[in-house]
Every structure is written in C-alpha cells, then in structure tokens.
Amino acid sequence: MSHYTIQPGTNIGGTVNISGSKNSSLPILAAALLADGNNILSNIPNLSDTRNMCELLSLAGANIVNDNGTLHINSRNLTDKKLPLELVNKLRASFLIIAPLLAKCGKVRIPLPGGCQIGARPIDLHLKGFSAMGAKIKQGHGYVELKCNKLQPAKIYLDFPSVGATENLMTAASMTEGETIIENAAGEPEIVDLSSFLCEMGAEIIGAGTDTIKIIGNKNLKSTQHTVIPDRIEAGTFMAISAITKSNLTINNVIPDHLKPVTAKLNEMGFTINENANSIEIVPCEKFKTVDIKTLPYPGFPTDMQSQFMSLMSVADGTGVVIETVFENRFLHVPELLRMGAKIKIDGRTAVIDGIKKLSGAKVRATDLRAGAALVIAALGAQGETEIDEIEHIERGYEDFEKKLTSIGVSIKKEI
Ligand code: EPZ
C-alpha cells in the first residue's frame, strides 16, 4: 500500500481546478450502454473507480476508446455474461449496469454486494423497483439474476431516497415505453446530470432534482455527446483545506449552487466565501467557530463531506455535534483523528467534537475514500509531519490529488 507524507499547511494559496464528478460519471458511463451508436463523454475524471467501470462496460461488450480523457463508448454488441465478483466488489457502483443490460439484453447476472467500510449498502430498493417494472429476480450462490423480456412502466416509491436506486431505475425507465414514476426519489445534482444525458439520448424526463421523477421511455435511444458536471465533493474538500490552513484559495470549475450546504456551514464558522459563475474563493479567518452538522439527502449537508468537516471541527472553537443519518458506519476516520490528538466521543451515529488548538502529526491510515480525505485535511492543520497509509482509497475519488495539492503549496510526498 502507498502512503503520503504531509507537512503542516503553512503557505497554501492560489488556484485549483476541480475535475469532473466521479458520482456523475459512474451512472452516465453505465447509461451510455443504452444507445447503440458512439456516445462521446467529456470531463470524466481518470480514477480507479471510472477505470473499473469502463472495464465492466467492456466485459459487457462495449467498445471504449479513451481519446485523451474524452471517452468514446460504442455498445452495439452487449452480452449478458456473468459479471466477475472481484470487479464488482472493487466498485460499489457496478450495480448501475443492471439497468442498461436488463433494458437491452433482458437479462443480467451480478454478484450481490459485499459490505463496505461505511455500511452494508444493500440493493434491495433497486431490486424492488426492477421487480415493479416486471423483472423476475433470483438470488443464490452470492449472485442476483434479473430477467425480463420487456420492462413495463411502473409507479415506484423508494423507502429511502437512494441515489443509486434512483439512477438505476431512471436509466431503465428511459428505455421502457410508457410513463414510469419514481416517488421519494433522490435529488442530488448527479441525478440531474444523468437525467440531462438520458434526455439528450431521447428519453423524456420531468422532475429530476425533485422527489418525484416522471420518465417517458424511448425504445430507440440515440448516442449523444455529454460533458459531466464538476465534482462538488472534491470542491468541498478543497474548501475545507483552505479553511483549516487559513489560506486564500480560489477553486475553479465548480457550480456554486451545488455547494450551498457546505458554504452555509463555512459561513457559520466565520469564513467569507466569494462566489463567481464557476469559481469559489475562501477568505480565511484566524479563529473560527465550530458548528453542528446533520447529514441528509440533498440539498441537506452531504454525507460525503462529513468526515472532512469533522477534521475542521477538531481545531475549531467550541464543541460541535455531527449526526450521520445516511450510512450506519461512517465514523472510521475518528480513531485516526484521535491518534492526532482530536477530542471526539462517539455514541452510535452521533459524534461530539471538542475543538482543540492544534492536532499533532502522526502515522495514520485511510480506511475509506472520504475518511482518507479527512486525514489529509487534518494533516494540513496539524503540528509536525503526518504519514497517511493506504492512500489507494483516497485516489479512488480525487484525480491528480497529489499534483493539485502540490500546486497550491502543500508539502506532500507519495511513496509506493
Ligand atoms: C451514492 O452512493 C454515492 N456514490 C455515495 O458517495 C454517497 O455517499 C451516497 O450516494 C449518498 O449520497 C456514488 O454515487 C457512486 P444510496 P449510493 O443508495 O447510491 C441505503 C463517495 O464517497 N440503501 O443513496 O450507494 C444505503 O445502505 C460515495 O463518493 C438501502 O438500504 O447511496 C445507505 O445507508 C460514498 N437499500 C443509504 O441508503 C438500497 O437498495 C444511502 O445509499 C440502496 C441504498
């Protein structure tokens, strides 16, 4: 496993350009299988997650050419071959391939999800929706098989506004003749981006971004071109880096509207945030107050920014409370922050953080993607050197992370 060695962030500043959204790219890559022709996708970040998704699409029969970051995806001859366990286990978003394979080939066999660090992450809501659309579902030997010659439009109520279930069902419904309605749908910006892509291919979708989405499917979707939205979580992570290092950072290629809950919390802490059309500038403040955070589906505070803010709260003035309502086990960064001197107590899904003056650099381990990002933030706000092990988790979701950090003045060394 590789590791980062990071010094305290003393002379950070300048400009950083945000990459395309990982969580928008993954459902759009899967949905590209729906159209026979050549889909051209731009601003897809070069990450292990997106590379694994492309490997999965190729295994399903797609032909993918990467023209310097622009992906050309041709899905003329899809197959319903059994998808490999090791690949699906590496990439949680593999389940998004169910929709196009079921809609186009009428059959898909995929390994059931193994757990992951942050929670069980079942796919029961996905399967309930596909069953409502007429799919016959069989589970056994660690696999789930879905079969249906012709998906039917349906009215689906999601018990929880699951991002993945909303994306999977919206994608399948885009190729299902008739009107499908998804109620209690997720409303994240990535859902809206996927909806734009599906409409560009010929589906008719009303209400993406709200809790009720109507999809009128089209049997003959056409290939198209699409540029993926910027990654709001990468942008939020750099906002937290700017805040903890009390530096003046301009973050380019963002949609400020997607960062409202993060900006609101930083304002509450005492930071001034200047927004332009597609950039955000953080004006530092010497002493900043702590806040209380409760993670919620969009437009609430994003669970994917919870660990990064906990690092910031660890050195803020006062006592703050974090309640994680989305995942059942998303405090794995806490033991690592405690090793750096943070004062945090956990009780179930609630953490109480007593801000201290300075964290102290230590040898720590990235347990998952956003927990790892939180440790980079903590290292920049600490006294003394920090070594972060297992950084493969971090590099799953942050394109050219080490290069971007170096470009804003971070002293970071990567060792394999
Ligand atoms: C997406 O995961 C994101 N991943 C996650 O980002 C993000 O944390 C999550 O949405 C919530 O915003 C991608 O988009 C690739 P969910 P997803 O289905 O779709 C439960 C990151 O760091 N649930 O909204 O898997 C589930 O267990 C990643 O970039 C069911 O119970 O999230 C969880 O507790 C981490 N049954 C909650 O819903 C289901 O069938 C939210 O899951 C589906 C989900």
Degrees (nearest 5) of the Cα angle 34, 37, 42?
80
CA of residue 119 to ligand 1 center, whole Å: 9
pTM of the predicted model as reported, rounded to 2 decimal places: 0.97
66 and 14 co-located in one domain: no
Number of domains the chain contains: 2
207 and 239 belong to one structural domain: no
Closest ligand 1 atom, residue 186 Cα: 24
Q: Do 48 and 8 fall within a single domain?
A: no
Tell me what pLDDT residue 137 has: 97
Domain ends where: 227, 249, 277?
A: 227
Which residue among 105, 116, 199, 285 is the active-site one? 116
Same domain membership, residue 257 and residue 202? no
In sequence order, the 6+-apart residues with CB closer than 8 A to the CB of 283 are: 248, 271, 272, 273, 274
* Token couple for 195: 């909806």
Residues with CB under 6 A from ligand 1: 23, 26, 92-93, 119-126, 160, 162-165, 186, 303-304, 326-327, 369-370, 397
C-alpha distance from residue 398 to each of 175, 267, 390 (Å): 32, 25, 14
Contact residues for 126 (Cβ-Cβ < 8 A; gap 6+): 95, 98, 162, 164, 165, 168, 169
Instruction: Sort 72 into a burial class: Cβ within 10 Å, 0-12 / 13-18 / 19+.
Output: middle
- If asked whether residues 318 and 338 sit together in one domain, one would say yes
Show Cβ contacts of residue 125 under 8 Å, excluding neighbours closer than 6 positions: 158, 159, 160, 162, 165
Which residue range(s) make up the domain with 96? 22-227
22 CB-near residues (< 8 Å, 6+ apart): 45, 47, 49, 50, 231, 233, 234, 396, 397
The answer to whether the CB of 173 falls within 8 A of the CB of 182 is: yes
The answer to whether the peptide bond before residue 299 is cis (omega within 30 degrees of 0) is: yes
Q: Indicate the burial class of 76 (C-beta count within 10 angstroms; 0-12, 13-18, 19 or more).
A: exposed
* 58 plus 204 within the same structural domain: yes
pLDDT number for residue 115: 59
Please indicate, yes or no, whether residues 351 and 387 belong to a single structural domain of this protein.
yes
**Considering only CA atoms, which residue is closest to atom 9 of ligand 1?**
163
Ligand 1 atom closest to residue 124's alpha carbon, by position in its atom list? 40
Give pLDDT tens digits along the chain (416 positions). Answer: 899 999 999 989 999 999 999 999 999 999 999 998 899 999 999 999 999 999 999 999 999 999 988 999 998 888 767 788 888 888 889 999 999 999 999 999 999 876 577 887 889 999 999 999 999 999 998 899 999 999 999 999 999 999 999 999 999 999 999 999 999 999 999 999 999 999 999 999 999 999 999 999 999 999 999 999 999 999 999 999 999 999 999 999 999 999 999 999 999 999 999 999 999 999 988 899 999 999 999 999 999 999 999 999 999 999 999 999 999 999 999 999 999 999 999 999 999 999 999 999 999 999 999 999 999 999 999 999 999 999 999 999 999 999 999 999 999 999 98
Q: Name the residue with the closest Cα to ligand 1, atom 22.
A: 304
Q: Tell which of 192, 208, 227 closes a domain.
A: 227
What pLDDT sits at residue 3? Answer: 97
My answer on whether 217 and 284 are in the same domain is no
CA of 162 to the centre of ligand 1 (A): 6
Residue nearest to atom 42 of ligand 1 (CA): 162
Same domain assignment for residues 149 and 252? no
* Ligand 1 atom, smallest distance to 23 CA: 14
Same domain, yes or no: 358 and 373: yes
Calculate helix-pair angle for 124-132, 98-105, nearest 10 degrees.
20
193 and 218 belong to one structural domain: yes
Q: Indicate whether 61 and 155 sit together in one domain.
A: yes
Domain of residue 247, CATH code:
3.65.10.10
| Among 227, 254, 286, residue at a domain's last position | 227
- pLDDT of 321 reads 98
The reply to whether 116 belongs to the active site is yes
